[in-house]
Amino acid sequence: MAGVLRKITKGTFIIANLMISIPMLAIYFLPYLSPSSLALFNLLPLAFPYLLLLQMLFVLLWLFVNRYLVFIPLLTMVFCGKLILSLLGIRFSEESKKNTDQNFSLASWNVQLFGFFNNNARPDPKMLSYAKAFNADVFCTQELVFSLDTTSSFTLEKLKQKLGYKYVFAGNSRSFGVHANNPETSKKQLYPFCLAIFSNYPIINKKKIQSIPEYNHTFIYADVLVGADTIRIFNIHLQSMHFVKKDYDFIEKIDQQSADEISTNGQSLLRKLKEANFQRAVQVLAVRDEIRNSPYPVILCGDMNDVPNSYAYQILRADLRDGFADKGFGIGRTFQFIAPTLRVDYIFYSALLPIKDFRVDKGFQSDHKPLVTSFDLPSAKD
């Protein structure tokens, strides 16, 4: 009887190990699926860090129980090596070396309107100062608002000056924005909601691409002249989940929900995830096409609202390198809520550009963390 129980237990663990391996390996096929067929399949990358942890536990289990079966988790992790390297940064930041020959620095930050609604319909001066302190040659922002009133203290031109830049390009449109009362006139007005690229190097060409007159269906690029080099810098913000406070509360307190609440709220979340996955898949293909048409090396910044190894990530990673994967360390969490593994903000770059340093800045408490990187461009000294 004991022998039978051992066989059943062993078989159960083998099946469990295989059930973990299969979805890990399946992530490889995401780029080959059509956007319409992604649906919930693209949720697998969200679970990848936890699946990897379970594989490591199975390695330990099989080493003690049956060392011949350790090949199941080990082979899975070997085949998933590329996926694991995309998830984890394995290099320490070099910023502490304080290299004085740094040529070209860039920062990217989803500034969440610079605290607009929490600061009486004005950008938070502390956030502006924090962003300026990056002292980056180029600063890409997502979720930026500014005033169209030329007498306002935060027109796009005045924001550019407060942040310490010479040039700016914003992909704004009056078709979408936020409405708030102007504290100076007490009248409600529209504040354009946009992406922006601030630069201390000349912007010699710029373009806004907008497939649908909505914010997430808009992305921009600017050709920046750095010494004798021209770099095309993209700024993107892919479709968000549109989670509201109720959704975050449900996720954080799911163990306190009734079965009916879990069913109702869970279905609502899955609908949002499904729609967002589809929209991001469509948007990222448009971004990829523009990248492939670029005559210059590319740096792409932005909030992708998606994790490493997702469909959107793998589509971009096919043509570009991931700054965090090359020069970062650890998990690199950039979004402050829901889970400790959410890296959704990125800086990708062409392999022709020699990256020097990358860090996820952890100083300012916002919903997204800023990214700061630098590149070694010899001609930038000219």
Q: Which long-range contacts (CB under 8 A, 24 or more apart) does 355-359 make?
A: 355/321, 355/323, 355/326, 355/327, 356/94, 356/99, 356/102, 356/327, 357/93, 357/94, 357/95, 357/99, 357/102, 357/327, 358/89, 358/93, 358/323, 358/324, 358/326, 358/327, 358/328, 359/93, 359/95, 359/328
Please tell me the distance from the alpha carbon of residue 74 to that of residue 71, in angstroms, as a whole number.
5
Mean pLDDT over the full length of the chain: 84
What are the pLDDT digits (tens) for 257-282?
Answer: 556 555 666 666 677 777 788 888 88
Check residue 223 and give its pLDDT: 97
Q: Would you identify the CATH topology of the domain 101-381?
A: Deoxyribonuclease I; Chain A (3.60.10)
Cβ–Cβ < 8 Å for 39, 277 = yes
Angle at 330 between CA 22 and CA 74, to 5 degrees: 30
Give the domain ranges of the chain: 2-87, 101-381
- Nearest by Cα to 141 from 235, 240, 216, 238: 235
Higher pLDDT, 245 or 183: 183
What are the pLDDT digits (tens) for 80-135?
Answer: 998 998 988 776 545 444 444 558 999 999 998 888 888 888 889 999 999 999 99
Q: Which of 71-75, 97-101, 171-175 is least confident?
A: 97-101
Q: Is the pLDDT of residue 8 over 70?
A: yes
Cβ–Cβ < 8 Å for 373, 323 = yes
Cβ–Cβ < 8 Å for 131, 125 = no
- Nearest by Cα to 325 from 81, 21, 77: 81
Please tell me the distance from the alpha carbon of residue 138 to that of residue 197, in angstroms, as a whole number.
7
Residue 190 neighbours by CB under 8 Å, 6+ apart: 148, 174, 177, 178, 179
Cα–Cα separations (whole angstroms), residue 369 to 8, 221, 264, 288 = 48, 22, 32, 25
Check residue 96 and give its pLDDT: 41
Cβ–Cβ < 8 Å for 344, 307 = yes
Q: Is the pLDDT of residue 26 over 80?
A: yes
Q: Where are the beta strands (DSSP E) in 241-281?
A: none
What are the pLDDT digits (tens) for 304-355?
Answer: 999 999 999 999 999 999 999 999 888 888 888 677 778 999 999 999 999 9
Higher pLDDT, 269 or 43: 43
Mean pLDDT calculated for residue range 288-293: 96
The DSSP H or E segment spanning 44 is: helix 44-65
Higher pLDDT, 90 or 252: 90
Pair type for strands 345-349 and 321-322: antiparallel
Q: Is the pLDDT of residue 36 over 70?
A: no
Check residue 279 and give its pLDDT: 87
Number of H helices, E strands in the chain: 11, 15
Check residue 175 and give its pLDDT: 67
Cα–Cα separations (whole angstroms), residue 308 to 42, 55, 66, 181, 341 = 11, 18, 33, 39, 10
Check residue 101 and give its pLDDT: 52
Cβ–Cβ < 8 Å for 236, 309 = no
Q: Which of 96-105, 158-167, 178-187, 330-339 is least confident?
A: 96-105
Q: Is the pLDDT of residue 54 over 80?
A: yes
Please tell me the distance from the alpha carbon of residue 229 to that of residue 231, in angstroms, as a whole number.
6
Check residue 372 and give its pLDDT: 96
Percent of the residues in the chain that have a pLDDT greater than 90, as a whole number: 48
